[in-house]
Amino acid sequence: MAGPESTCWTVIQAAAAGSAGERAEFARRYDPVVRAYLAARWRSSPCRHELDDAVQEVFLECFKRGGVLDRAEPGRGGFRPFLFGVARNVALRAERARGRREHHAGEGRDLEAVADDDPGPSEAFDRAWATALFREAGRLQEQQARGKGPDACRRVELLRLRFHDDLPIREIARRWGADAAALHHEYAKARQEFKAALLEVVAFHHPGSAAEIEQECANLLAALK
């Protein structure tokens, strides 16, 4: 992430102003989220063949003069609703354009209605958003651990083994030749460190009060269930 005083709006405003570096950072952050939404929306549609072009169109729409980044204003919550809105509008345009190109009766019919009535795409967007922020929190925790020393780095590895490899603490203790009770204590500390990193990441993407940031964390967890 950027410096401790920055928020998503720092990146967004710099990208809107034309900074190449900030635009690249913007695309890196949000490409997986946009791609997941469009893939879910078009999973049974011929529009799925236009996914790469549509992802690029979302970012062009954001960066163009007078686009969504120019209109986005700090203090109006996180950027997620803005990004969802522009991705949805680009998808609708692509669906309508394909519908006009179809020559066979029924081809492309009700594309808009089907997509709007199906909660799957918006849920896919929320899951991708939550996944992106959790991964970012993991990277931040790892970065912070390198500055704290080997014990903190070991706790990052402990979380990886517990969650990514699904190993119980007793098995990790056996592999490491460690005391299981002591490792449970380290595991609790590792989770606290991850939560602190997650709160920092969420505060970056969703500026607000401490209570609002805690609620957004809860929303992210719910999206991943």
What's the CATH number where 31 sits? 1.10.1740.10
| Cβ–Cβ < 8 Å for 114, 178 | no
User: How would residue 127 be classed by pLDDT, with cut points 50, 70 and 90?
Assistant: very high
Q: How many domains does the chain have?
A: 2
Averaged pLDDT for residues 109-134: 74
Q: Tell me the residue range of the domain where 126 lies.
A: 120-225
Cα separation, 220 vs 116, whole angstroms: 22
Q: Are residues 26 and 37 in the same domain?
A: yes
**What mean pLDDT is reported for the chain?**
86
Q: In terms of domains, do 2 and 107 share one?
A: yes
Region of 142 please: left (phi>0), alpha (psi -120 to 50) or beta.
alpha
CA dist 114 and 11 (Å) reads 34
Torsion of CA 13, 81, 197, 175, to 10 degrees: -130
Report the range out of 8-12, 66-70, 93-97 with the highest average pLDDT: 93-97
pLDDT value, residue 68: 74
| Domain termination residue (choose one: 72, 98, 118) | 118
State pLDDT tens for residues 137-164: 999 999 999 999 999 999 999 999 999 9
Question: Residue 106's pLDDT band (boundaries 50, 70, 90)?
Answer: low
